[in-house]
Amino acid sequence: MSEKLSTQPYKGTRDFYPAEMRLRNWFFGVIRKVLETSAFDEYNGPMLESLDLYAAKSGEEIANEQTYNFTDRGERRLAIRPEMTPTVARMVAGQMGTLNFPLKWFSIPNMYRYERPQRGRLREFWQINVDIFGCDGFEADLECIASAINILRAYGADASMFTVHINNRRFFNDVISAIAGTDAEGSRKVSKVIDKRNKIPRAVYDQELAELGMSEEQIARVDALYHMDVIEATDICPDSVGSQELRQLFDALKKTGMDQYCVFDFGIIRGLDYYTGTVFEVFDNAPENNRAMFGGGRYDNLVGLFVKNAKISGVGYGMGDVTLENFLFTHKLVPETFGSGVKVLVTRFDDVPYEAYLALVDRLRDAGIVASVYLGTKKFGKQIDFAVKDGYSHIVVMGGDEYAGGVVKLKDLGTREERTLSIEDAIALLK
């Protein structure tokens, strides 16, 4: 091997050295704590799935293009999972007869998408997935949105930093039919144009709607929806199930004080073919970063891909680690240190038996204190340098004299304070 291998990770993926890993463990720990306290159950599935799962949900072309996929020696077409929803739908379908609905499930899987790496988008990422299956009522939508708000609040985020934008796909369909006066097929065509509103030139948008028979006044009424609150908007079609769902949800948000984090936003659609009820996106309010961080909503019948005539509705969201980390750094919500910060290096001298140091370290560890003996035989000054550079908070020094006297020197590397005391007292002080 004269040609040396590259030390770079594969394009679009990351190495997590200990400093970054501590951040991640804190980061995911906060999420786990919030979700577990809210009685969500964690699950996981395999990293490789049949490519057919993604083709059935998103179409053959998207599945092929956006996943890392290949054929195994048994001619099975496999993909590295690019999202968790098909896996969780498969799992729910697989034990549909024995599972105890409604399910409140979450997962924090790593996954891969084959795309050009850019800010907020990498090829390998982790995605927090939260879903409630088998509850059709607004209560599940509320619980789902509340969990997202509670996660962000647990990091210390407040209402000035993020906003949950909420709409409802049933309402969207009904209000468009009401304004355009179209039948189901006509409304579907109009919806497709409205879905593109921010992606195509205004003149094209107007023209396409006009071609579908909409008047200038009707188009203006659709425009007005983007500035309405939930009451005004739902007044246009008060009998729509979607309107009732929206009002119920916003009423409950208000009564629980969560309305401070939420707004009605007619611009939230999130893919025409997938969502069926409540849809929402969580926006970062920072001006330099103002965009949707993640979102979700209610979808029906994913389980139907696996089980004939099955109808289990779900509501959920997926939150990517990269975007969420950007948010936390932007709003300075990442602490400087994680954990208690107490970490003790037992330094080592030649005139004390090594096993005496090992016994000392064992006593510290048994007391739950993070501790290590210095591995090696370098001079005392080098051992201190190692401790400082490695983020140790304290050193315990036991030279020949201390060893003979049954004491240790405990030095706080922050304050540089040093005390000679018994091992018991050192442990008590460190705890």
Kindly indicate which of the ranges 37-45, 222-230, 325-333, 417-425 contains the residues binding its own copies, using the contact rule CB under 8 A.
37-45
Subset of 66-85 contacting its own copies (CB under 8 A)? 68, 70, 72-74, 76, 78, 80
* Identified binder of its own copies from the candidate list 26, 28, 30, 50, rule CB under 8 A: 50
Tell me which residue of 47, 128, 36 sits closest to 87, measured CA to CA: 47
Q: Tokens for 198?
A: 């921010």
Taking the least distance from each CB to its own copies, the nearer of 45 and 120 is 45
* Identified binder of its own copies from the candidate list 238, 267, 368, 400, rule CB under 8 A: 368
Q: How far is the CB of 212 from its own copies (least distance, A)?
A: 29
Q: List phi, psi (to 5°) of 162.
A: -145, 155
**Which helix (H) or strand (E) segment is 129 a member of?**
strand 124-133
Subset of 303-332 contacting its own copies (CB under 8 A)? 305-308
Q: Tokens 């304070």 — which residue?
A: 417
Q: How far is the CA of 83 from the CAs of 68, 107, 127, 202, in angstroms?
A: 12, 11, 8, 33
- Under the binding rule (CB under 8 A), the answer on residue 10 touching its own copies is yes
- Under the binding rule (CB under 8 A), the answer on residue 118 touching its own copies is no
Subset of 133-152 contacting its own copies (CB under 8 A)? 135, 137, 139-140, 142-143
27/126 Cα distance (integer angstroms): 12
Site string for its own copies, 94-113 (x = CB under 8 A): xx----x-x-xx----x-x-
Taking the least distance from each CB to its own copies, the nearer of 112 and 317 is 112
Handedness of CA 200, 204, 210, 215 (dihedral sign): positive
Q: How far apart are the first and last CA of the chain?
A: 51
Cβ neighbourhood burial of 51 (10 Å; 0-12, 13-18, 19+): buried
* Identified binder of its own copies from the candidate list 31, 63, 84, 91, rule CB under 8 A: 91
Taking the least distance from each CB to its own copies, the nearer of 266 and 280 is 280
Taking the least distance from each CB to its own copies, the nearer of 36 and 417 is 36
Taking the least distance from each CB to its own copies, the nearer of 286 and 370 is 370
Taking the least distance from each CB to its own copies, the nearer of 132 and 293 is 132
Taking the least distance from each CB to its own copies, the nearer of 187 and 276 is 276
- Under the binding rule (CB under 8 A), the answer on residue 7 touching its own copies is yes
Q: How far is the CB of 322 from its own copies (least distance, A)?
A: 14
CA angle 170, 171, 173 (to 5 degrees): 65
42/32 Cα distance (integer angstroms): 8
Kindly indicate which of the ranges 14-22, 234-242, 274-282, 289-297 contains the residues binding its own copies, using the contact rule CB under 8 A.
14-22
Tell me which residue of 161, 210, 170, 171 sits closest to 189, measured CA to CA: 210
Give the single-character DSSP code of 267.
Answer: T
